[in-house]
Structure 1
Amino acid sequence: MGDSATAGLIDEMSDLRRRTRRVRHGYWFPLLLFGVLTLGSMPLLRPFDWRNSPTRRCEHGPDGRVRSCVDQSPSTAFEVPGFGRIDPLGVFNTGYLGPVAHPLALGLYWLGVLVLGFLATVWWYRWRASRVGVETSTRIYAQVTVCGLGVLLLVPLISAVGGRLLWLGGWTQRIASVVLVAVSLGAVLVAMRLSRSGGATSRRRRVLIGLGVAATVVVVSVLAAAVMHKVGGLMLLAIGLLTLALVERSVWCALVVLAFTGFTLLANASYMGTIFYRLGWQIGPEETNLLFNGKDVVLPGAVLIIGGVVALIGHRWANGRAAG
């Protein structure tokens, strides 16, 4: 009788933990939010119109034909004494087939996505905790996002100092991109383990942790400067959402974010154009083809939206079943 009661109590506790985890899950909101915001960048990816540029200057031959033309495409880079030419928004707006028409707007848009999306996600989890009584900690997610923003600020400086020595291409760049994600995710796992250790930490340990964080940021920044050509916003979203998947302990969230990360790595390797070409999605001139111009964000954004919608439907179905 005692063993039966104990077994029943264990089953009841296990069921309670499952229901608590199900109620706590709220990752559908950041998936949908960042999916919509990712697709929202598509209009800003319109290429620069060389032919109708007001700054275009052409040299004509004796027969009146154009011999050569010179133009200055818009850029967010500027000269810094001692460092050379630095582009603080280059991780968001360079590396495409050609320069975009509005690089400043595109760079500021992605900064807004990262900062405002981060604040909205933290707010969502805290608001949701006040409603359901179970809170999902966003501390690690906040730390990862802040460190990631620090990396994106360091990358232009490191790129300016390192120059072409840090620029990788081909299979080397693709492999190094995977290493970048793996190193970042490893740092997140270490941080999560340290946060779970609990208890008071000595001053020496806090200093060592601080030095470890600084060293990790520098290493990741150097790797990012070597391999990250244009998808800084997508890459930081991938690391942040992978962190949320670990915190939520959700298999579905992890699968969605892994797919998002995979498409991001393909976009960073400039492989999306090949995929679209083979699928026959290149329709019309590139200047007006919104789908092709936004090829680097279409599939990552669609994956997040579909994953978020499925998660929301599953969440409501599970809650309705529990209430019934």
Structure 2
Amino acid sequence: MTQNAANEASNLLDEINVLRDRARTDRHAFRFPLLFFGGFTLATAPLYVIDFELGARPDWPFPREWIDLVWLAGLVAGAGLTVWWYRRHGHRAGIQTSPRNPTIIWSTAGAAPLIWLLLPLVGFSLWFLWPFFIRSTFGLLAVALGLIALAWAERSRHLWAVTGLYTAAAVPAVVYDMQNQYYRLFHLFGVSPQEMPYGFLQGSSVLLPSLILLVGGLTVRRKTHP
């Protein structure tokens, strides 16, 4: 092979790599699900405060599982809107990542807390899974599972990084009462148990995961080529 032929082959390979990277960037449309689920997760924070404040009242007729129903509705809505967004993006960009697997996960995983409650009624129980469902924050984990599937489909380092950070924040919020950490923090600043904002901090578990998604969505790199 002559030097010119070698140079031409090298240039052709470089052009192929550029086109491949450009196509990969063009198909990325995960900005919307990050912003949607980040905003929805943040919007659930007041629900935990309301449930805490009203749950102590004898006339409050709803068990805490009503929050799980809200999560399920949000996950199904997010899945449907993500499908619409990806199709819209695909028509514009001419290339599209299939959101099928993550949207299926979001639509079905959100029902896990309700299924877990109904299992004893049919003589079957997975009682050892109670840490995942007792706090009505399982929706955080459902979002994480869908994001993992989406990151796999998108092949995006940015989305993998956001998903990793989000999952690391979501899992403790699902299996642990994160407000206990805030109580300790307030105590360090001299706040007495009588002065603790117990009701206000009930929604603290969803704050960090939601902020990670919102920041991740807002920092998605936009296309720079024509």
Q: TM-score scaled to structure 2, two decimals?
A: 0.82
Instruction: Show structure 1 runs of 5+ residues with no match.
Output: 56-72, 77-92, 94-102, 169-223
Q: Is the 8 A contact 1:34 1:117 kept in 2?
A: yes
Count of residues in correspondence between the two structures: 213
Q: 1:236 aligns with which of 124, 142, 148?
A: 142
Q: 1:120 aligns with which of 76, 81, 90?
A: 81
Q: CA deviation at 1:286?
A: 2.1
**Percent of matched pairs sharing the same residue:** 31
Distance (Å, rounded) in 2 between the aligned partners of 1:244 and 1:43: 28
Whose relative contact order is higher, 1 or 2, with alpha carbons under 8 Å and at least 6 apart?
Answer: 2
Q: CA deviation at 1:274?
A: 3.0
Tell me the alpha carbon deviations over residues 23-81 of structure 1, each in whole angstroms, 9 at most, x when there is no partner. 21111111111000001011211214466x354xxxxxxxxxxxxxxxxx5334xxxxx
Is 2:182 aligned against 1:276?
A: yes
Q: Is the 8 A contact 1:167 1:226 kept in 2?
A: no
Other-structure match for 1:257: 163
Q: CA deviation at 1:296?
A: 1.4
CA 1:6/1:237 → structure 2, altered by over 3 Å: closer, same or farther?
same
CA 1:296/1:50 → structure 2, altered by over 3 Å: closer, same or farther?
closer
Tell me the alpha carbon deviations over residues 136-185 of structure 1, each in whole angstroms, 9 at most, x when there is no partner. 1112223333442564553222355455xx434xxxxxxxxxxxxxxxxx
Find the residue that maps to 1:40 and give its secondary structure. Answer: helix
CA 1:159/1:265 → structure 2, altered by over 3 Å: closer, same or farther?
farther
CA 1:75/1:150 → structure 2, altered by over 3 Å: closer, same or farther?
closer
Q: 1:31 aligns with which of 18, 28, 34?
A: 34
Other-structure match for 1:74: 61
- Within 5 Å, give how 1:87-102 maps onto structure 2: 93=64
Distance (Å, rounded) in 1 between the aligned partners of 2:77 and 2:219: 24
Q: 1:158 aligns with which of 119, 134, 148?
A: 119
Other-structure match for 1:138: 99
Q: CA deviation at 1:227?
A: 4.0
Other-structure match for 2:19: 16
Q: Is the 8 A contact 1:272 1:296 kept in 2?
A: yes
Q: Which amino acid aligns with 1:130?
A: H
* Higher strand fraction (1 or 2): 1
Find the residue that maps to 1:294 and give its secondary structure. Answer: helix
CA 1:271/1:107 → structure 2, altered by over 3 Å: closer, same or farther?
closer
Q: Is the 8 A contact 1:23 1:132 kept in 2?
A: yes
Distance (Å, rounded) in 2 between the aligned partners of 1:294 and 1:146: 23
Q: Which amino acid aligns with 2:47?
A: L
Find the residue that maps to 1:257 and give its secondary structure. Answer: helix
Which structure has the larger Rg? Answer: 1
Q: Which amino acid aligns with 1:74?
A: P
Other-structure match for 1:302: 211
